[in-house]
Structure formats: structure tokens, C-alpha cells
Structure 1
Amino acid sequence: MRRPDLPPLGTLQPFEATVRHTSMTAAARELHVTHGAVSRQIRSLERALGVELFVRGPRTLTPTPAAHRLAAVVRDALDRIDTAAREIARRPPAGPLTLSCEPTLLMRWLIPRLPDLARHAPDVTVHLSAAGGPVHFERDGIDLAIRRDDFPFAPDTHSVPLFAEYIGPVHRPGAPHADVLLHTATRPGAWADWHERTGRAAPPAASEQTLEHFSLTLQAAVAGVGTAIGPYALVHDDLERGTLTAPYGFVADGTAYHLLGRRPLDDDPRTAAVADWLRTRATEPANA
């Protein structure tokens, strides 16, 4: 079937890579061609469409809104072609998966469970990356990500719910300084959220202390410095060991953790295996 308005197909992959990297040099490096070859393909595409797709500065290359729109469509088409080609060729995807995870969840929950993942999916190799917030799968080379849904996920992201977030005050059993309230700069409203959902006032405090990251706040609680609001998944292992206690239990805060992927997770047996394992390791309090 003849399609007279279809642009030259050979120009589309260099174009998509250039938009994604905002750099012809980086696109050329990814595609193992020269900068000049990418530049010629971009010019050919612009001539075919009759529009300029980039604002070219002395040291900058900025995709236009039209370029972003076209690149999104091209990216989706390339993904579909890639998936169909793998299915037809019957070649299962190979190589390691890069899994991005929020740093404190990574340190306190995921890493201690990696030996169990190795037993569950011995043929899957996972590389871990600590990061939070929006996920840029293509730009950062990420296959999967674990994120809490306290921000909107991109519309084309595939998501599998893992477990809800439960919060409650925690401190070291018998700690002499448990009357110090610990706060976290990255979650400044944690105590207020707990109060709103339980109606309980914060425990009496002789003083208060704020630490920069959640991991530091929870470590301070483990060390007996004071009482912190602890998400259940992040303190589960400490509760099991008896290094922390939760005198008021836990309450759902209305958010949840999700496993995110650029493609449907069942499309790749490796991502399906990781998703299946994560669902079996869901961590929620007994009274949930």
C-alpha cells in the first residue's frame, strides 16, 4: 500500500534518538554512526515534512513541540516493532534488568530481600539504581522502577500495584530519649498526616529534631535518639528483630508503591518474574 505522506523511514530512528538526547552527537553514539549521518537524516526528515523540528543554537539543540509529538509516536512504533520481532523470532530478551527504586526503600527493604529474588528467579540479573520521582526509562536506561504514587505517573507508563503505605510512630524499645520527636526534611508533614488519620496527638516530646533524609531519621530511631514516623515496609525488619517497637500500630496513609515499566510487564519473562516475586513479597501490617 502506497503512503505518499509517510516520511522517509530511515530518518525516524536518528530523529527519535536526537529528540531523546537533545543531542545529535549522543544520538550518533547510540546508533554507532557519525554526527554528519544523523544531521543529514534530520535535514531529510525536515525537508519531507516542510518544517524545522529543532531550534538550533550555538551550543544547544531544542526539539520543537511538533518534534516531541512526532518522537513520541515514533518511539511507540519502534517499541511495538521490537516486541513483534522478538515474538516472531522467539528470542527471549537477555541481559540484566536495571531496577530503579526509591533510596530508603532500596536500602531498608529491597536489598535485604535480594537473595530471595535470586532463588525465585535465578536466571534474572538485576542492576539496582537509587532514585525517586518521575522515571525516564529511555534516557536513564531503566527497565523497571518502584515508586510511591505521591506524584502522577506518565500516561504511557505500565503500572502494577505492590503494597499500600502504612505509617506509625516507632522508637527503640526502652530508649531513654524516646520523647524526642524526629522529623524528616523530605517528608515534613509525616507527623501531621499520622495525626489526621488517627486523631491521636503526637507523643509528649521534650524536644524535636529534623534530619535531612528518611533513612537518617529511621536510623536515628534505631539508635535510640527519639521517635519517628516509620512507614511499615521500611521498619518491618527492625520490628521483626526487636530493634524498633510501634506502640500505636500503623494506619494507611492513602498512598501505595507500584512497579513501573515502559512496556507491559508480561511482555518480557524477566520483568514478569520480577513483578511476580515483588507481589509475593508485599509487606503490610497484620492489622491492615
Structure 2
Amino acid sequence: MKLPALTSFQFFNVAAQTQSFVQAGRLLHVTHGAVSRQVRALEDAIGVELFERRNRAIFLNDAGRELYSVTRPFFEQLEGTLYRLQRETREDVLVVSCEPTIAMKWLIPRLPDFHAAYPHLQVQLLTAGGPIDFGRSGVDLAVRRDDFYWDDSIHCATIGEEWTGPVCTPALWSAGQPLDGMRLLHSKTRPLAWDNWLRLAQVAAAGTTRQEYEHFYLCIQAAAAGLGVGMASLLMVHGELESGQLIAPFGFIRDGSRYCLLSPRPFEESAKCRVFLEWISGQMAQSVR
């Protein structure tokens, strides 16, 4: 069987995604009639209808859904590959994915140092956490904590250990005060952070109340606002500790996790990736002294 033109599959894919010839036309910068004709040509070529047409509305049928399950990842991978190939021809651009709170509270304030040291390199920062598909995302490197699994296809370099501890405003704390009866601020993104610290530090906390926030960043902001005692990473509150906005009455301890720089290929194969690894490792070492 001779396959229909790739354009027909592309038009079908966008129409399936939007469930609208009109919306697909806008995304493809053509008329809705052009989308309709391409989809009809595809249906005629394969001898199978892909949409149910009701008045002016369209709905994927079973055959359409099956085909879309193939075209969607195909075009996503194709776009990601083309983006990566275009990017690789530009050795002056480095695309880095970083967990949001670390990006906002630690990495971004230090990027001027990187730009000063390597003015020929432009860092494009994307915020995301957890597993990453390098092929589809077009990312060169990813900064992650080792709280999820990655296989041997991903190259990993440890850039620093995680140090955690309770933080709060000076007004909320009295010297020698225990945690008993305090409001403890928890984060959904690190639900076991308090339990792990209490166990490692061998500190008791009786009669406490619990306040939960969606992200670690919000938990830190709540602590800075005097709403309770938050569990924080040393890296994330470095600025607030220096300014005196927050204090760490118990200090910080290693929690057993680490920060890693992930790459889809060996670091030595890319000069810009090797440079960034050396720089970020040095910055991490300075931050936890």
C-alpha cells in the first residue's frame, strides 16, 4: 500500500487534537476547508472514515482514535528531533531544565556569574521537575534531585548533596524553644520532608499542627510571612538566611538525597555541557559551605 502524503497525516493530527477543522486551520495557517479536504483525501486513500461529522462538528471515531494514537507521538518526536538538530548547530545556546523552586531561588540568581564567565553561551532555562524526555523536550541538560528513577540511557553527574532544616522568622522563635505546639508547614511535592528530618535530627515535635502547601516554594514563602515553621532546602533559602528574613534554629543536615545534572549523552561529548557541569558543581559547593 502506498502511503498518503505526510501533509494529510499532519492535517489529520491537528484536526484530531483540536476536534475542529476551524481551529486546526488557524493552527496550520490555512482555511478550514483546506483541512477538511486534506482529511477527506486521507480517508479516501485508506478507505476508512476517521471522523463522525454532525452538522458542523467533528468527532473522532474508533478508527480515528487508533490512528491519532500513532500520529500524535510521531509528530511530537519529529518536532523534538528537528528542534534538537537545529539547536545542535548552535553551540552558543544551552537549554537547561530545572526544578522550579531551585530555578527561582538558587539557579537564576547565579546565572549572571555564568554569563560573565562564558559570554559566548546563552542559557535558555525551562522549569520542570521529575522525569524528562530529552528527545521530545529539546533540552540539553536537566537539574534534578534523585527522587525518581532514570535508566542507563541518561548520563548523570552528582553536583551536590541536599541539606534540609526547619526555617522561620526571627519573631516566631525564642532561643531554646522546642517544636512542640508549633505550626509545621508541609509541601505536597516533598510530603516526607518533615518526617525524614525529625528522624535524622532525632528531634521530637509533640502537639504540632499541620499546614500544607502545593509546592516547596509556597512553603518557603509562608515561612517568610511568619505563618509557621517550614522545612526547607539550604539552597532554597540561602538569600533569606543572609538577609535575616529567615533563621534556621536547628541548622541543616544532609537528608541522603543529592542533586544531579542529567544529560542524554556523555558530558565530554559536548563542550558547552561540560562547561556548565563544571560551573554548576562549583556553585553548589560554595552554597553548602
- 1:105 equivalent in structure 2: 102
- 1:168 equivalent in structure 2: 165
- 2:5 equivalent in structure 1: 8
Q: Which runs of 5+ in 2 are unaligned?
A: none
CA distance in 2, matches of 1:195, 1:79: 44
CA distance in 1, matches of 2:135, 2:52: 22
For residues 188-238 of structure 1, the C-alpha deviation after alignment (integer angstroms, 9 at most, x for no partner) is: 432123345x27244x45643515243343234446664322123212334
Q: CA deviation at 1:275?
A: 6.8
Asked if the contact 2:101–2:216 (Cα under 8 Å) also holds between the matched residues in 1, the reply is yes
**Letter aligned with residue 184 of structure 2:** L
Q: Indicate whether 1:245 and 2:255 are aligned.
A: no
Query: Aligned with 2:185: secondary structure?
Result: strand
Q: Indicate whether 1:66 and 2:64 are aligned.
A: no
The higher radius of gyration belongs to 2
Q: Identify the range of structure 1 (23-32 vs 34-43) with the bigger mean alpha-carbon deviation.
A: 23-32
Q: Indicate whether 1:189 and 2:192 are aligned.
A: yes
**Letter aligned with residue 67 of structure 1:** Y
Q: CA deviation at 1:171?
A: 4.1
- 1:214 equivalent in structure 2: 216
Alpha carbons of structure 1 residues 201 and 47: separation in structure 2 relative to 1, 3 Å? farther
Alpha carbons of structure 1 residues 80 and 71: separation in structure 2 relative to 1, 3 Å? same
CA distance in 2, matches of 1:226, 1:115: 33
Aligned 1:61-100 pairs, distance under 5 A: 64-77=65-78, 79-80=80-81, 86=86, 92=90
Q: Indicate whether 1:42 and 2:39 are aligned.
A: yes
- What is the number of equivalent residue pairs in this alignment? 274
Q: CA deviation at 1:267?
A: 10
Q: CA deviation at 1:47?
A: 3.5
Asked if the contact 2:25–2:31 (Cα under 8 Å) also holds between the matched residues in 1, the reply is yes
- 1:234 equivalent in structure 2: 236
Asked if the contact 2:184–2:229 (Cα under 8 Å) also holds between the matched residues in 1, the reply is yes
Alpha carbons of structure 1 residues 260 and 29: separation in structure 2 relative to 1, 3 Å? farther
Query: Aligned with 2:110: secondary structure?
Result: helix
Q: Identify the range of structure 1 (244-253 vs 105-114) with the bigger mean alpha-carbon deviation.
A: 244-253
- 1:200 equivalent in structure 2: 202
Query: Aligned with 2:232: secondary structure?
Result: strand
**Letter aligned with residue 105 of structure 1:** I
CA distance in 2, matches of 1:135, 1:183: 29
CA distance in 2, matches of 1:20, 1:35: 14
**Letter aligned with residue 111 of structure 1:** I
Asked if the contact 1:182–1:217 (Cα under 8 Å) also holds between the matched residues in 2, the reply is no
Query: Aligned with 1:64: secondary structure?
Result: helix
CA distance in 1, matches of 2:249, 2:238: 10
Q: CA deviation at 1:38?
A: 2.6
Alpha carbons of structure 1 residues 192 and 21: separation in structure 2 relative to 1, 3 Å? farther
Q: CA deviation at 1:108?
A: 1.6
Asked if the contact 2:105–2:236 (Cα under 8 Å) also holds between the matched residues in 1, the reply is yes
Aligned 1:82-161 pairs, distance under 5 A: 86=86, 92=90, 101-122=98-119, 148=145, 150=147
CA distance in 1, matches of 2:31, 2:208: 62
Query: Aligned with 1:244: secondary structure?
Result: coil
Q: CA deviation at 1:64?
A: 1.3
For residues 245-270 of structure 1, the C-alpha deviation after alignment (integer angstroms, 9 at most, x for no partner) is: 36253223547566689x99999998
Q: Which runs of 5+ in 1 are unaligned?
A: none
CA distance in 2, matches of 1:8, 1:143: 30
Asked if the contact 2:25–2:35 (Cα under 8 Å) also holds between the matched residues in 1, the reply is yes
Q: What TM-score do you get using the length of structure 1 for normalisation?
A: 0.63
Asked if the contact 1:222–1:244 (Cα under 8 Å) also holds between the matched residues in 2, the reply is no
**Letter aligned with residue 247 of structure 1:** F
